[in-house]
Amino acid sequence: MKQFWEIEKEENYYTLEKINEKEIAEAEKKLGVTLPDTYKKLILEQNGGYIFHNAFHTTQPNSWSEDHIQFTHLRGIAEDDGIMESEYLIEEWDLPKGLILINGDGHTWVTMDYRNTKEDPSIHYFDLEMEEDFKLADSFDEFIEGLYTAEYTVDEEATEVEYE
């Protein structure tokens, strides 16, 4: 697997307390789903945080870009600031039930889509500003393999900071 975690930003807002396999199994039981093996492997290495590659190509325009979405971090497993607060955030942002939120800021979300399954979810993108819901990848593995590094201009970075 290619480098995933951003090395310089190992300790950051999105990096949560270390987790073990037993705690992952408890989270799966509470969520009522089986998390993808690759997700669990990554979370055992580091429980969430900034990632090395920051974008995923899409042919669907969105409020971020005409040809890609931004994906700067992966949410880990925790009640606060992790995937365990998905149910609360789904209600707060009026998203469909059956999603696990792995990245987002309220206006846009990347999710594991469990609406029609309890395992092997597809990965979806929700852009609330444009009222869009579209599939990014058929699986978490396909999504991770498709991540790449997008270079941003100074204007794009300034705009990004304004929204944070």
- pLDDT tens track of the chain, all 164 residues? 568 998 765 567 789 999 999 999 999 999 999 999 999 999 999 999 999 999 999 988 888 788 899 899 999 999 988 999 999 999 999 999 999 999 998 899 999 999 999 999 999 999 998 899 999 999 999 999 999 998 765 454 444 444 33
| CATH number, position 75 | 3.40.1580.10
According to DSSP, the β-strands at 108-113 and 132-137 are unpaired
Q: How far apart are CA 159 and CA 125, in angstroms?
A: 20
Q: What's the total number of domains in the chain?
A: 1
Q: What is the dihedral sign for C-alpha 77, 55, 154, 127?
A: negative
Q: How far apart are CA 118 and CA 108, in angstroms?
A: 23
| pTM, two decimal places | 0.87
Indicate whether 2 belongs to any domain. Answer: no
